[in-house]
């Protein structure tokens, strides 16, 4: 039964529920309300990332790993 085996390999790994995906859409629904229906895609992505980082307790640090010497070397080039 090679065709049945191939079909089983395709369908069995699928999760029974897509809970993480549903959380993302629910969070997006909270952000996009009737008053905020004109938020562009880039701002929506930034807001969702900010909400996730605040809820998980992580702080967004865009300068992590950047030393003053490294930045000075980049500016000299």
- Tally the domains of the chain: 1
Question: Is residue 16 classed exposed, middle or buried when 0-12, 13-18 and 19+ CB atoms within 10 A define those classes?
Answer: exposed
Tens digit of pLDDT for each residue in 9-61? 887 776 666 666 677 778 777 777 777 778 888 888 888 888 888 888 877 77
Specify the pLDDT at position 19.
66
In a domain, 67, yes or no: no
> What is the Rg, in whole angstroms, of the alpha carbon atoms belonging to the chain?
22
In a domain, 8, yes or no: no
Total-model pTM? 0.46
| Residue 33: domain span | 18-56
In a domain, 34, yes or no: yes
In a domain, 68, yes or no: no
Q: How far is CA 69 from CA 1, 65, 73, 75, 77, in A?
A: 64, 11, 6, 10, 13
Q: pLDDT class for 8, splitting at 50, 70, 90?
A: confident
In a domain, 63, yes or no: no
């Amino acid at each position: 039964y090679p065709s049945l085996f191939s079909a089983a390999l395709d369908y069995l790994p699928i999760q029974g529920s897509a809970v993480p995906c549903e959380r993302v859409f629910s969070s997006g629904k909270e952000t996009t309300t009737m008053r905020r229906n004109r938020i562009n895609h880039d701002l929506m992505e930034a807001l969702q990332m900010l909400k996730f980082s605040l809820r998980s307790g992580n702080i967004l640090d865009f300068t992590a790993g950047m030393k003053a010497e490294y930045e000075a070397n980049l500016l000299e080039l």
